[in-house]
Amino acid sequence: MAVFYRPRRLLYPTEGLMYLWAMEDTTPQRTEVGKLGEFGLIDRLTAPFHPSQSSTIKGIGDDAAVLDTGGDRLTLVSTDMLVEGIHFDLMYTPLKHLGYKAVVVNLSDIYAMNGTPAQITVSMAISNRFSVEALEELYEGIRLACEYYEVDLVGGDTTSSNKGLILSITALGTVEKDKVVYRSGAKVGDLICITGDLGAAYLGLQILEREKQLYMDQPGIQPDLEDQQYLIGRQLKPEARKDMIAAFAHNGLKPTSMIDISDGLASELFHIGKQSGVGAYLEESGIPIHPDAKMMALKFQLDPTTCALSGGEDYELLFTIDPADVDRVRFLPDIYIAGEIVPASDGFTLHTTGGKRHPLTAQGWNHFG
Ligand code: ADP
Ligand code: MG
């Protein structure tokens, strides 16, 4: 429902409602959200829900929900929200780029199911800080993404916010019934594969944050972004791996499990491990990192591998394959074999280039931390 610069009318006197709530509240405990973390919170809140519809094939727990609405294709649904000040900073994010990225991060989840996106809806909450022209810029980015990825904008919602911009996009897609790939299909002995390169978007963000800080300290100063096109591009204008899904189809490859890398490689590997009931042995030398990202990590005195493991926003794909399928990926450009699935009892290990073995820790973004 859209409420535009107009407070919603209360149906009941507030005091009455508060009295009712007080009556129901038999366990006046208070647990901080930060204690559970993002995924712990989702698990706890959704535990009492059990799908009752036969059309719900996969509910919570994957990149997209999977629905069987009849016919030979399954329907995929995924939603993501971007909040100003948390996910983006308009001091260095052009609205056109923001619109494009907001679409891409949703489509990435549809591709992560081995699916093809078809439609999006766009919901936004805006403050009066935004002019019509500014919002047209945002929508131009959305339109460009729709055009490139061949999806239709079919609806949404518009409402007001006290402060800042909130964007929520839902993507719908489809996948052939026997082609859908879940996070839960990895088997012991499967090879771990990664597309593209990791850590660059995080380093792009570090550059933008540094330049913002310099600008705030000395407003006249011009940002020095000239030679960092690649890293900044990876942060401001990511792409989803539509091409990889096409390459899988072309090569007759069906990964055993797949997830998109939005929160960092380590966090995503843990999701595959948890959903599949397995562990992972990851080779540091197999993690693809762009030379520009390596250079910039060193400039920031960061470990490039840590940037890849925990940086996030790469929107690459992490997937596993049956070793019998290795020839189907071996010569595909931009796919790297980086490890092996092991029994859950062996846990998650990083084999470093220095020859050491370290337990891997999940360091995804904890927005509530
Ligand atoms: P992704 O990073 O692929 O977008 P998330 O990590 O955001 O996925 O979400 C993991 C799973 O939890 C998904 O199945 C998502 O739909 C579900 N989920 C996230 N937030 C909520 C929520 N507030 N209520 C119900 N399900 C949620
Ligand atoms: Mg995802």
* Ligand 2: centre distance to CA 232 (Å): 22
Which residues have beta carbons under 5 A from ligand 2 (an ion)? 63, 109, 260
pLDDT > 90 fraction of the chain, expressed in percent and rounded: 83
Rounding to the nearest 10 degrees, give the CA dihedral for residues 50, 56, 58, 61: -50
Q: How far is the CA of 111 from the centre of ligand 2 (A)?
A: 9
The predicted pLDDT at position 226 comes to: 63
Give the model confidence (pLDDT) of 304-322 as tens digits.
999 999 999 999 999 999 9
pLDDT over 80 (residue 369):
no
% pLDDT > 70, the chain: 90
Name the average pLDDT for the chain.
91
Helices vs strands, H then E, count in the chain? 11, 13
Query: Which ligand number lies closest to the CA of residue 76?
Result: 1
Which pLDDT score is estimated for 5?
Answer: 41
Question: Which ligand is nearest the CA of 48, by number?
Answer: 1
Query: Contacts from 9-13 at CB under 8 Å and sequence distance 24+?
Result: none
Q: Which two tokens stand for residue 165?
A: 């911009």
Question: Average pLDDT in the 211-228 region?
Answer: 83
Asked if 328 contacts 252 with a C-beta cutoff of 8 angstroms, the reply is: yes
Query: Which pLDDT band holds residue 8 (cuts at 50, 70, 90)?
Result: very low
Structure confidence at residue 138 as a pLDDT band (50, 70, 90): very high
Q: How many C-beta neighbours within 10 Å does residue 284 have?
A: 20
Ligand 1 pocket at CB < 6 A = 42, 46, 60-63, 80, 109, 262
Least confident range of 133-137, 317-321, 330-334: 330-334
- Average pLDDT (86-111) is 97
**Where do the domains of the chain lie, and which CATH numbers do they carry?**
58-176 (3.30.1330.10), 183-359 (3.90.650.10)
Amino acid at 166: I
